[in-house]
Amino acid sequence: QEHEEVERVRKRRRATAEEEGLLNLLAERVKAPYATTWEAVREALGDLPQMRDCQLDRDAQERLFMEYRRDISEQRCEALVAHLSNLPADIVGPDTGFEEAIGQVFNGAAGKVFAGMPEDLLREAWEAWRGKAHDSAVESARSWLRSCGHLAGSESVEQGAPAFDALLQKLNAADVRFRRLAARPSEQALLVVQRLEEMRERRAS
């Protein structure tokens, strides 16, 4: 993971020899740049030859560090979004709160990759994942409604009628793909309304 991230930074920058030397030092010694500052890095590494003999001026060195920190932070956020997306839907879903979702990440062995990430980056990744998880849950529920058969004979049911509410309860009990949206009943209702309309149009054609 860390090696791939650093390689992506190198390719993006097309670094000069001096930049390459400093970047190599940062990659070797600063594994979590988002958890530190340039001042702390200079103090910790200033006596090493790669830092002491670097021909880049101090402003250029700091700019390189800040770019390195930004790039690694972005890549680590992308990795966290992917990790959350790969967790089973019955463990984390679109309405899983921040603390619970991140807790699931750190409960696993892969969690150590994200150790030291500040909360603002963790929240940024969680929010990006939550949006994707919600879209995925909606599409999954829509696909299930088109194939489940539970709406057969209900084409005439109108939203707001007792029969419609009973239909929602039936669908919630029938499958987890619909139940994942239980915290958003208006979206469940919209999906059912859309599916019933599709069925009426098909029957009329």
Q: Report pLDDT digits (tens) over 22-58.
A: 999 999 999 899 999 999 999 999 999 989 888 899 9
* Phi-psi category of residue 37: left, alpha or beta, with phi > 0 → left and psi -120 to 50 → alpha: beta
Q: What is the mean pLDDT of the chain?
A: 90
CA 44 from centroid of its chain's CA atoms: 33
- Residue 87, token pair as written in the block: 């967790």
Q: Which two tokens stand for residue 24?
A: 């190599």
| Closest listed residue to residue 145, CA positions, set 194, 95, 90 | 194
CA 185 to CA 36: how far, in whole Å? Answer: 44
**Rounded to an integer, what distance in angstroms lies between the CA atom of residue 139 and that of residue 133?**
10
Tell me the per-residue pLDDT of 79-98, one tens digit each, with 9 for 90 and over. 999 999 999 888 898 889 99
Q: What is the pTM for the complete model shown?
A: 0.74
Check: CB of residue 6 under 8 Å from CB of residue 27. yes
Backbone dihedral region for residue 196 (phi beyond 0: left; psi -120 to 50: alpha; all else: beta): alpha
Letter string b/e over residues 123-145, b meaning 16 or more CB atoms within 10 A of that residue's CB? ebbbebbbeebbeebbebbeebb
User: Among all chains, which residue has been given the structure tokens 């930049």?
Assistant: 19
Given a cut of 70, whether residue 141 has pLDDT beyond it is yes
For 120-131, the pLDDT digits (tens) are 999 999 999 999
What pLDDT score does 18 carry? 81
| Maximum pairwise Cα distance, the chain | 81
- Other beta carbons within 10 angstroms of residue 105's beta carbon come to 20
In the block, tokens 């707001």 appear at 160
Structure tokens at 92: 């984390």
Length of the chain: 205
- pLDDT above 90 covers a percentage of the chain that reads 72
pLDDT, average across residues 144-151: 95
Tokens coding 118: 């500040």
* Residue 8 pLDDT > 80: no
